[in-house]
Amino acid sequence: MPNINYATQYQQALDQNFPYVLNFGALFNSPSNSLFKWTGAKAIEIPVIATTGRKDANRDTIGEFGRNFSNSWEPKTLSNQRMWDTLVHPMDIDQTNFVTSIGNITKVYNDQQKFPEMDAYCISKIYADWTAKSKTADTTVLTEDNVLTVFDARMQAMDEARVPVQGRKLYVTPGVKTLLKNASQVTRQIIAGASNDGVISRSVNRLDEVEIIQVSSDLMKTVYDFTSGWATGVGAKQIQMCLIHPLAVITPVSYQFASLDEPTAKTQGKFYYYEESFEDVFILDNKVNAIDFVIVA
């Protein structure tokens, strides 16, 4: 690795372009996270309840009593255990005017490595679980003329499956976001006047009842290699759209640890930072119809 730049004129904070955030934050905060129970250090179970339907009532007699519901448990096993560590020499912190402080280093690590990796794992794991349930993604080549037709087909399928309309999210690449803005079926009213200082807004943030969330193309792949950090995996396809309801996923975290050790003889006079987490992403078996994908063939 190149030597740390000791230029004292550097600002206190590193100037990193376009830091990442969790694009799939709504999925990591799924309401379904409150449903499961832990059955071990890396195992969870999700309750599944079914009931019978209603019958005609009788005012004159009493019918037979019986149990008209069942309860089963859907097991899941976590497998995504990740760690990161680094040594920092105290003189590096001092000689870079505190640019390489642990706070700055971990901020850059979170913004450019950890958070994007979590996004990449989330979308690719959902896709893998979804296709494992015999689901197949749409491979239509999207254009301005057909993008809304493809979207409507995904919405209609979810409507038929009785997926709640409120809360659905549409994750798209920047290219698809542009297609939606210019879609031939869209009727747009543009107002430019004194009330908005003459600024014309062409943004598309919602489509029908669905929130649109733009995600960079490199974080919308079907397969990733997580050997070191994250990279597009062999045979990966480009995800163009993911229509999903957050209720369809859970994101359990079994273990989180982060610690900073002061310089000691064991670390040869250096600070030592270490963090580890044990987490995963799953789709719920009975909500598989609340997920749909459009990919590039």
All domains of the chain, ordered by start, with CATH? Answer: 25-54+62-295 (3.90.1690)
pLDDT at 203: 55
The position carrying tokens 């640890």 is: 257
pLDDT at 260: 86
Check whether 9 has a pLDDT greater than 90: no
Categorize the per-residue pLDDT at 7 as very low, low, confident or very high, splitting at 50, 70 and 90: very low
Query: What's the pLDDT tens digit per position in 174-190?
Result: 999 999 988 866 655 55
CA distance 142 to 152: 13
pTM of the model: 0.84
**Which residues are within 8 A (CB) of 220 and not within 5 positions of it... i.e. 6 or more apart?**
123, 171, 173, 238, 239, 240, 242
The burial of 157, by beta-carbon neighbours within 10 Å (0-12 exposed, 13-18 middle, 19 or more buried), is given as middle
Q: Decide if 36 contacts 249 (C-beta within 8 A).
A: no
Mean pLDDT computed over 223-247? 97
Q: What is the arrangement of strands in the sheet containing 291-295, beginning at the earlier edge strand?
A: 206-207, 210-214, 169-172, 239-244, 291-295
Of the candidates 296, 295, 290, the residue with the CA atom closest to the CA atom of residue 133: 290
For 266-280, b/e burial (b = at least 16 CB within 10 A) is eeeebbbbebebbbb
Phi, then psi, of 74 in degrees rounded to 5: -100, 110
pLDDT at 61: 86
Query: What's the pLDDT tens digit per position in 104-160?
Result: 888 889 899 999 999 999 999 999 999 999 999 999 999 999 999 999 999 999 999
Greatest mean pLDDT range, 13-27, 42-56, 84-98, 234-248: 234-248
21 or 228, which is more confident: 228
Check whether 246 has a pLDDT greater than 90: yes
Of the candidates 142, 157, 151, 139, the residue with the CA atom closest to the CA atom of residue 297: 139
Share of the chain above pLDDT 90, in %: 58
CA distance 219 to 21: 12
